[in-house]
């Protein structure tokens, strides 16, 4: 089978599974988890730009996610703006965060950048916990659903397919960027920062762009989360959530779009299925994650990647 057909199948099969899944599994409980999986896929696709491709450790993704959620929640509940339009608001918020975090990131690297992003996430959580207009720790409720005319996406099945459309669009965009000149530049910065600088490439622009893309994706996902939950509270957007996003990316395959999708799917659905083990479920899940990272450092996705023939084998 030619590589072209293989690539098409690699996209079509998961897409067919995604379309069929909520029709096979009709429980509202699992449909809710599938929706959460789609939301997390978008976040991790965004995180992949900055951490997976550019190699900048971002541990403040929960803060970005929160900003998206609260933008939608506040605009729709306080100002009565349509949830569709609040997504545009979230994209603008993502641009602001991206530039706001991106430029300071040029001055710090490694552990210092990680600490800066942790600080950002915590500042966001503390602010939304204490501001009156965000309703503080009590959170915001009665966030309206997406509607088209008289049709409302408050049914889980309809919402799932709507969110799947978002994932497909944002997944395609992420894949195209990853394989574009920008994607190659991101990877070059990750692999040899000094060499890129030495050949006279301005690394400021790609680093800020990576942060901005991550922030836009995170904010859009936050918007979708707020609409899905109908109720948001600051206690959700913790440092734990940021680390969960990192684990999703690493488990699936760092730097890989299909890997991010796979990582988000496994890390969202598997813990739910292990819940019956009570206190043991995190231990079991963590052991599985550790084993995958130990034996497959490139993530689960590395199973699906065919090993390229070496030069020696080619000559033979």
- Using the rule CB under 8 A, which residue among 25, 106, 123, 204 binds other proteins? 25
Residue 2 C-beta: closest distance to other proteins, Å: 26
Count of CB atoms within 10 A of residue 156's CB?
19
- Using the rule CB under 8 A, which residue among 173, 203, 230, 243 binds other proteins? 230
**Using an 8 Å Cβ cutoff, are 154 and 148 in contact?**
no
Tell which positions 277-316 bind other proteins, by CB under 8 A: 278-279, 281-282, 288, 291-292, 295-296, 300, 303
- CB closer to other proteins, 98 vs 299: 299
- Using the rule CB under 8 A, which residue among 27, 84, 133, 195 binds other proteins? 27
Q: Could you give phi then psi for residue 157, rounded to 5 degrees? A: -65, -45
- Using the rule CB under 8 A, which residue among 73, 232, 247, 264 binds other proteins? 232
The closest of 245, 215, 239 to 102, measured between CA atoms, is: 215
- Using the rule CB under 8 A, which residue among 6, 79, 273, 286 binds other proteins? 273
Tell which positions 210-229 bind other proteins, by CB under 8 A: 229
- Using the rule CB under 8 A, which residue among 13, 79, 138, 165 binds other proteins? 138
Cα 294 to Cα 45, 251, 266, 300: the distances in Å are: 23, 10, 17, 11
**Both structure tokens of 233:** 């509270």
127 contacts other proteins (rule: CB under 8 A): no
- Using the rule CB under 8 A, which residue among 16, 28, 106, 204 binds other proteins? 28
Q: Where does this chain touch other proteins (CB under 8 A) — which range of 97-105, 122-130, 168-176, 193-201?
A: 122-130
Residues in CB range of 87: below 8 A, 6 or more apart: 72, 220, 223
Residue 242 C-beta: closest distance to other proteins, Å: 15
Residues in CB range of 29: below 8 A, 6 or more apart: none
* Cα–Cα dist 57/117, whole Å: 8
141 contacts other proteins (rule: CB under 8 A): yes
Determine which helix (DSSP H) or strand (DSSP E) holds 231, and give its type and residue range.
strand 231-232
Q: What is the CA radius of gyration of the chain?
A: 20
Residues in CB range of 213: below 8 A, 6 or more apart: 46, 49, 50, 98, 177
Residue 295 C-beta: closest distance to other proteins, Å: 4
**Using an 8 Å Cβ cutoff, are 145 and 153 in contact?**
yes
- What residues make contact with other proteins under the rule CB under 8 A? 24-30, 32-33, 36, 126, 129-130, 136-139, 141-142, 229-236, 266, 269-270, 272-275, 278-279, 281-282, 288, 291-292, 295-296, 300, 303
């Amino acid at each position: 089978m030619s590589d072209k057909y293989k690539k098409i199948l690699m996209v079509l099969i998961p897409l067919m599974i995604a379309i069929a899944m909520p029709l096979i599994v009709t429980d509202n409980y699992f449909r809710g988890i599938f929706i959460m999986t789609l939301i997390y896929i978008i976040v991790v696709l965004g995180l992949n730009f900055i951490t997976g491709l550019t190699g900048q450790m971002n541990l403040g993704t929960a803060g970005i996610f929160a900003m998206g959620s609260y933008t939608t929640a506040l605009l729709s509940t306080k100002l009565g703006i349509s949830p569709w339009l609040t997504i545009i608001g979230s994209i603008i918020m993502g641009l602001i965060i991206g530039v706001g975090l991106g430029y300071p990131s040029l001055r710090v690297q490694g552990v210092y950048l990680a600490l800066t992003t942790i600080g950002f996430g915590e500042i966001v959580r503390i602010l939304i916990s204490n501001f009156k207009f965000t309703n503080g720790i009590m959170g915001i409720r009665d966030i309206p659903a997406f509607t088209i005319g008289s049709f409302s996406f408050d049914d889980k099945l309809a919402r799932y397919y709507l969110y799947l459309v978002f994932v497909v669009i944002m997944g395609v965009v992420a894949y195209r960027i990853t394989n574009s000149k920008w994607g190659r530049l991101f990877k070059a910065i990750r692999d040899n920062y000094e060499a890129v600088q030495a050949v006279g490439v301005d690394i400021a622009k790609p680093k800020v762009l990576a942060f901005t893309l991550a922030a836009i994706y995170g904010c859009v996902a936050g918007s979708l989360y707020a609409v899905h939950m109908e109720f948001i509270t600051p206690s959700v957007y913790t440092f734990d959530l940021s680390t969960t996003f990192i684990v999703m990316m690493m488990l699936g395959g760092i730097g890989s779009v299909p890997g991010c999708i796979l990582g988000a799917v496994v890390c969202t659905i598997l813990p739910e299925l292990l819940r019956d083990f009570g206190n043991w479920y995190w231990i079991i899940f963590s052991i599985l994650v550790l084993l995958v990272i130990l034996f497959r450092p490139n993530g689960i996705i590395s199973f699906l990647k065919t090993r390229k023939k070496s030069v020696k084998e080619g000559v033979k």
